[in-house]
Structure 1
């Protein structure tokens, strides 16, 4: 059982309770929302109002296909949320196979995922209702932004239903004005007397109408309050006296549950209730393992039959959960009754989940039980799965809970490095790589970290350092034996360094490995940089063909809106023959590159697009070239991006620097000049180089001027790339 095995309980509506009350007046509101093609139906009310039961029972009577997602707090991780939502829709329409790799490959990027999801839904011919229950548990801004965009862009045949305790941070006013919002609020969900009679069933058969009216008033129509009253009414010696004393508001619910419910449960049942409050969800096998008893499945079924606060999660009555009000009380009572046993119960739950292969839940319980080192060991195996699925926020949460232990394990340090890198904090990512090196044993294989190491160097605009590492990788058979991301970033490095032969060889391998591993983002990145190599070789036709192929693949994989394809749009713009299409491609390239591209990619895209637009007489081109100069100035070694900028500036009369590739040396470099040249890619000042070579600063400056003159360039960065072109570095 994989970590997401319990997803089956998240991807279908809960089965109806034993006392289901059909609420036709509310069903009519929901029906009108769907039939009127509202983009969003919002069911917003406090806890215990009956939101989930209402929407679930209503959805079973609709002719449309219904996709259901039961949200949890852990779904605030964007990749996890979108994976589940795609899986939910995939249960009724076959879109999950194509979209799951998009979610993982983009780390749950809301712009990319929603664009791909909307395109997929546009091809769905039949109406669809998508329900997200307990949406208030989602606290991530990226997810909120994406869901709002999904609501705005969904095709007319798709209706989004959100059940929540608090309104989502959407622009609801705009939807109301447009007539695209249907709403059910807390006041609407209050049970009237007739509905309460149906909800309580046999518990109120002996009550006269006046007492039932009084009970509804006391509970203020609150579903959970009425259910709790029903648990006690049948035992009450005087129903009228009980109703007079009853308060069904949630402020007093803990006291009521403790005094009126737990006090009446026999000793064995109470112990089992308290012990089973530890896991979020329960099955018979899990109950037996955690409590050390037998008959857990029957106990769950019987308890759910008597108590609507134990909620079934599937129609086979295998999985259950406590209503949050009861769960919170049971946990509080457990901590007060046997605090010393709480770690043991978490350990048992962790052991069971681990035996089922659900390492995510096992880690949750190890951490909750204070077993930090055991959790860390599990994370060493589970971390790569989370990274592959794009769930970096979940991974970071686990790492943060490990505390200082994460700093003592090479694998955890590497995971932290990836989390920081993906969030754009490159210095912190490097710090974690340094931590990994510090704690690694002598025989530690650093190859798994090489992909991150190269990525960090390129993100900093340091092609020279990245190239050194890429050459170490290709000097062995590591590209064959490791996942495709290593081959991809190695090929990308050779592309930025202008090493065409090596770049093409490695990128071909990366494409093949990415296709075999179904790693679509790596596949597209490799294709994009094949176009970069052809463009740098000044082969316009080949570059145009390669860029178009990359964009076709990105479109096929649902990644056409991902920032990694920006260079392909830029190259297609520069090498195309249609001015209108070229301008559109250039603007799209700049828009995507500004979303997340590293400085190398952004500088390259700004350069190529600025060059294209200036060539068309478009005044928007010059500011792009100026911005490219500012961006690439931040790069210690921008590789071919710097040369393309110099070439474009020269072409448009912005500088007198020659920007073309150096074919031959103007004059051979001396041995001392070659010695200085080898230090230029390093992030060392001329004074540092002089100290290293035991010569004066003036001597180094003289050698540098000679190097620039002989290479036909004007500055250090251009000299580095020219020397690479001539195989001097």
Structure 2
């Protein structure tokens, strides 16, 4: 979109551009010396962005520029923009990295690995700039940027412009001579530079007055620009400079008294009304203010006022310097507070007409119209979810307040946010809210994938399997979304339904490949490996697990936690002890980062099994940990059975059900009736009430079921019954 594109270009240098050779030399030596980081750290209004934009205009290297905003703290959003900026500057395979960003939801380890691999392929120098980096306050993004700086190839230089130092280990970079720094004191304008900045007003001043003005502003760029606005009108420059102060405390009062007071009434009205915007074009100004000639007004104003900053080479998009913007907003709230919501509504309508629903939502919320914001989220929410921007989505939903509880789609989106954060009970709560407010005839299929993923996340294979069977009984797989097909295949895989799992996961992998849905593609392969291993084919499991790992590496997802089971299976089925040990260690590292209980327990079991087989006693505590993980799973499916058999094989415990399922004696009709209820999270008392029998009768039937299946507990009985096709 046009507005987003302005984030990926340096601001247009002002008409009164001053070449600052002494600072250009510092920047040149940083790039020429192949330092890893160029840090420009100084207070607001010091001229950081202008310095970098003008310096880069004279450099031969390709430049990737990202103008950070507050919303860019969302990891998926930040890395998507940075990858796009780099892709526009240099022919890296940005199209291959962006799906990794989306699929991993901006996971710093996953994204940086993929990005560094692409950057390593380029031969020509590249400068990557992030302006206003102080607006990024997400720990994951900070870790990722520091890692990117550490791992970037020699031909890439990272430049950060910020008001405060980033939370990096800067001392280590200084010791290694891998950083070039420009600080606030360096950015202060000396007398000669100030003269150029002030333009014609500066050239008419004698040296003594220029020295005095630099002293009063302490060389602060914004203060000098403000002084220049009034020097053009000052009858006595010396008297003006004597009274002028260029510090932060003076700025608001000065702008109000000396700038707004002399602006034409129509221009003043436009300035105040457009202050609600972060960035604007002529068309947007006209739509917002109900006037015409906005494009010319912007270009004319930018010529005489350096506090209106151009954002593209075409002179289309602009923004106010933050000092002027803040003053104008304050003044607008004092002058016409009752009109502010209406202005936001106009802005929202314009952005929606341009297809920019994100900005439309921002203005609807700013104007207090939460119902319209909720309506827009029906379109934009799924896009944010598909783009991995769950933090941005949750921020919007939080601002809706109780209105989110009245919207079917908002409740569903909230559920996805909670599920991704690993809060399954809250996710289920939002699914219940969705059911309560859903209108008659609402298609619940979009919620099915979430419901199945929640069930699998909690280790409730039975519930997930029921949902999968209900969906496949009424729809054709070709109609499903990629994530839903993968979830259906996963449910069958964890339930030990090899035939159905293979068919579904094969289709899921093909669909994901066609749609370039990288994470779903990899997960489908991972679940196929689980199926092959559970089916007893070590050779097939080794091949499939290796394919999953190799595919993940090709997509830059080698450090994605979802690949952990594939590494664990490759370790368990491999013939090389050294590689098996390395795979097991890597699988554990990945699984402990963000895996669900089901996947974590499975990886712990497989790695414990592998290590014990290699004579490493460290495998035994892993099995104990797996047992504790599965204890909180209602139905861990084949993963729980695998643990039971592994413990028995290594002599850790003699547990019934450790061998292949065998039906010792046929179940009676009443026992089959009770068996069908065992996968559900119902107590024996609830089952008795459902079947209209006594609790003792159910207990008697359960004991008979366990005996005939050769197992000792309910969960083992459920999986044994599945293996025997009784469920």
TM-score range (shorter-chain normalised) is: over 0.9
1:320 corresponding residue in structure 2: 318
Please report how far the alpha carbon of residue 658 of structure 1 lies from its aligned counterpart in structure 2 after TM superposition. Answer: 5.1
1:297 counterpart (267, 271, 295):
295
Say whether the 8 Å CA contact 2:394–2:417 is kept in structure 1. Answer: yes
Q: CA deviation at 1:432?
A: 0.3
Match of 2:34 in 1: 37
Please tell me whether residue 726 in structure 1 is matched to residue 724 in structure 2.
Answer: yes
Q: Any idea what the Cα deviations from partners look like across 1:70-110, whole Å, max 9, x if unmatched?
A: 00001011110000000011012222111110111111111
Q: Whole-Å Cα distance in 2 between the matches of residues 344 and 391 of structure 1?
A: 29
Q: Name the residue aligned to 2:446.
A: 448
Alpha-carbon distance in 2 for matches of 1:16, 1:376: 39
Partner of 1:473: 471
Answer yes or no: is the 8 Å Cα contact 2:657–2:712 preserved in 1. Answer: no
Structure 2 residue 401 is the aligned partner of structure 1 residue 397: no
User: Could you tell which deviates more after superposition, 280-289 or 55-64?
Assistant: 55-64
1:611 to 609, 618, 629: 609
1:455-496 deviation digits (Å, cap 9, x = unpaired): 111111110111110100111225321311110101001000
Gaps of 5+ in 2: none
1:120 has 2:118 as partner: yes
Match for residue 653 of structure 1? 651
Q: Deviations over 1:200-221 (max 9, x none)?
A: 1101222110000000000010
Task: Judge conservation of contact 1:492–1:503 (CA < 8 Å) in 2.
Answer: yes
**TM-score normalised over the length of structure 2:** 0.98
The residue number in structure 1 matching 2:12 is 15
1:464 to 462, 465, 489: 462
CA distance in structure 1 between the aligned counterparts of 2:115 and 2:618, rounded to whole angstroms: 33
CA deviations 1:637-656 (Å, max 9, x no partner) are: 00000011011111100111
8 A contact 1:86–1:95 mirrored in 2: no
1:222 aligns with 2:220: yes
**Is 1:163 matched with 2:161?**
yes
**Residue in structure 2 matching 1:130, options 128, 134, 137:** 128
Does the 8 A contact of 2:512 with 2:521 survive in 1?
yes
Name the residue aligned to 2:407.
Answer: 409
- Please, which runs of 5 or more residues in structure 1 have no aligned partner? none
Asked whether the equivalents of residues 75 and 389 of structure 2 are also in contact (C-alpha less than 8 Å), the reply is yes
15, 40, 46: which one aligns with 1:49:
46
Per the TM alignment, residue 27 of structure 1 is displaced from its structure 2 partner at its CA by 1.2
1:159-558 superposed matches below 5 A: 159-558=157-556
In the TM superposition, residue 696 of structure 1 has moved relative to its aligned partner by: 4.1
Q: Of 54, 59, 80, which aligns to 2:56?
A: 59
Give CA-to-partner distance per residue, 1:252-290, whole Å, 9 cap, x none: 100000011001101111111111112111111111111
Which residue matches 2:74? 77
Aligned to 1:712: 710
Question: How far apart, CA to CA, are the structure 2 residues paired with 1:243 and 1:717?
Answer: 84
CA contact 2:274–2:289 (8 Å) conserved in 1:
yes
**CA contact under 8 A between 1:38 and 1:182: conserved in structure 2?**
yes
Q: Distance in 1 between matches of 2:180 and 2:708?
A: 73
Q: Deviations over 1:144-202 (max 9, x none)?
A: 11111111222222211110001111121222222222211111110000110111110
Whether the aligned pair in 1 keeps the contact of 2:419 and 2:454 (CA below 8 Å) is yes
User: Does structure 1 retain, via aligned residues, the 8 Å contact 2:64–2:89?
Assistant: yes
Please say if 1:673 is aligned against 2:671. yes
Alignment of 1:688-703 (within 5 A): 688-703=686-701
Equivalenced residue count is 726
Q: Is the 8 A contact 1:648 1:659 kept in 2?
A: no
Against the structure 1 CA distance between its residues 563 and 199, is the aligned structure 2 distance closer, same or farther, given a 3 Å change threshold?
A: same
Please give the residue correspondences for 1:77-156 in structure 2 after superposition, counting only pairs within 5 Å: 77-93=74-90, 94-156=92-154
CA distance in 2, matches of 1:349, 1:265: 24
Post-superposition shift, 1:660? 5.1
CA contact (8 A) 1:647 1:658 kept: no
Q: Give the whole-Å Cα distance in 2 for the aligned partners of 1:280 and 1:344.
A: 17
SS of 1:6's partner is helix
User: Is residue 627 of structure 1 aligned with residue 625 of structure 2?
Assistant: yes
CA drift of 1:663 comes to 4.7
Q: What TM-score do you get using the length of structure 1 for normalisation?
A: 0.98
Q: Which moved more, 1:92-101 or 1:352-361?
A: 92-101
CA deviation digits over 1:43-73, x for unaligned, max 9?
1100000001111111222232221110000
CA contact (8 A) 1:662 1:712 kept: no
